[in-house]
Structure 1
Amino acid sequence: MSSTAGEMRRLDLLVSECRACPRLVAWRESVAVQKRAAYRDETYWGRAVPGFGPADAWLLIVGLAPAAHGANRTGRMFTGDRSGDVLFAALHRAGLASQPHSVAIDDGLALTGVRITAPVHCAPPDNAPTPAERDSCAPFLARELHLMTPSVHVLLVLGGFGWQALLSTLSGLGWVIPKPRPKFGHGAEVQVTSPDGQQLTLLGCYHVSQQNTFTGRLTPAMLDAVLARADQLRPR
């Protein structure tokens, strides 16, 4: 195991043990006890959910937060809900995931060249973290970005919340962000530069939430196109 992979494993462990935000801890644990009827016989994860994927990925996908009965149940990002069905099917079509479905943490899914994370690692009530909860979790995202800096070239951000959180984290790490600060939009593309001159590309994509995919605001073709653009930007 490389030193970076070892550091990422330690970070993932720290994330899973975090109890910094009382409201989020209470919510994620109450959901794990009350459960949804379809999952009443399952043992919920009920903890903060770490990132998923190799530490040396060239692509980092940044979402919002774990779903109450998805990742909060299974313990893996975008696993066990319909948002994950859409995302992993697209990653599989792009050759970045070993299978198109993600139903459980031990289902054999493997990612190649891509890691998935979120600016908030606990399931929030109504899918709405507070600014204070986002800021409390920000050091985890900062550390994850730092560990991936040697390899990552593209940051694919799902939704406006993740976009703003990521820009704030990059700015805090000393990255140069264009002014005025770039606005989120589907297909948005922004170049940012690290203090030592490394460049990354941020790509915006509507979140793979049911609200977007069921209404056609985000279609599989639209998601495929963003992933294709990311592939064009990857180092060869």
Structure 2
Amino acid sequence: GIVGLAPGMHGANRTGRPFTGDYAGDLLFATFAKFGLSRGKYQSRVDDGLELEGVIIINSVKCLPPQNKPTPQEINTCRRFLSAQLDALPQLRVFIALGRIAHDSFLRHLGLRAASHPFGHNALHDLGDGRVLIDSYHCSRYNINTGRLTEAMFEAVFERALAARNRITPAG
């Protein structure tokens, strides 16, 4: 599962599908296609026919935050929605957190301390219950333009996630 930040102004907040219509979606959906996690062609529209395969996107915050920076109160208020989605998907074993906010909120959902699992790009955190969390810098335009995140760095996270998924046997 992909744990994102919040709906983007020109993306999900406008289109209704996470990462659709904004710059971050271009890299995310291209990466999904490269790793066989989608079917169809991403055309930056909710009606483009694209279908995800073996992956789901869940956001930490449900509403578009001002300046794309949610407050701690917004993050905490929205955690119940994140928790409800995660609890409804107990078969998910591998998670990618897009950014520190997603990382921290996911860990808090599990009752784990962020200090015990420090955020780091491509860091893998064994959560002790058969699940793993892998961190990535967010695939935002800012991170790409500044070189903080490159396509190769982003793809390395997905390589690690797929390798982890192949090592973990489903619960049940």
Q: Fold conserved (TM > 0.5)?
A: yes
8 Å Cα contact 1:89-1:99 kept in structure 2: no
The letter for the 1-side match of 2:89 is M
User: Given the alignment, which residue of 215, 218, 224 partners 2:155?
Assistant: 224
The letter for the 2-side match of 1:70 is G
Could you say which residue in structure 1 is the equivalent of 2:118? 183
* Distance in 2 separating the partners of 1:160 and 1:124: 16
User: Given the alignment, which residue of 2, 10, 16 partners 1:75?
Assistant: 16
How do 1:116-135 residues align onto structure 2 when only pairs under 5 Å count?
A: 116-135=57-76
Could you say which residue in structure 1 is the equivalent of 2:146? 215
Determine which structure has more spread, i.e. the larger CA radius of gyration: 1
* Distance in 1 separating the partners of 2:6 and 2:95: 16
* Distance in 1 separating the partners of 2:43 and 2:124: 28
Unaligned runs of 5+ in 2: none
User: Given the alignment, which residue of 154, 158, 163 partners 2:98?
Assistant: 158
1:222 Cα deviation from its structure 2 partner: 1.0
* Distance in 2 separating the partners of 1:139 and 1:178: 17
* Distance in 2 separating the partners of 1:146 and 1:82: 30
Runs of 4+ more than 4 Å apart: none
1:141 Cα deviation from its structure 2 partner: 0.8
State whether structure 2 residue 78 is matched by structure 1 residue 147: no
Question: What TM-score do the two structures reach when normalised by structure 2?
Answer: 0.91
Unaligned runs of 5+ in 1: 1-59, 172-176
SS class of match (2:127): strand
Root-mean-square deviation (Å) = 1.6
User: Given the alignment, which residue of 203, 219, 222 partners 2:134?
Assistant: 203
| Identity rate, percent | 43
1:202 Cα deviation from its structure 2 partner: 0.5
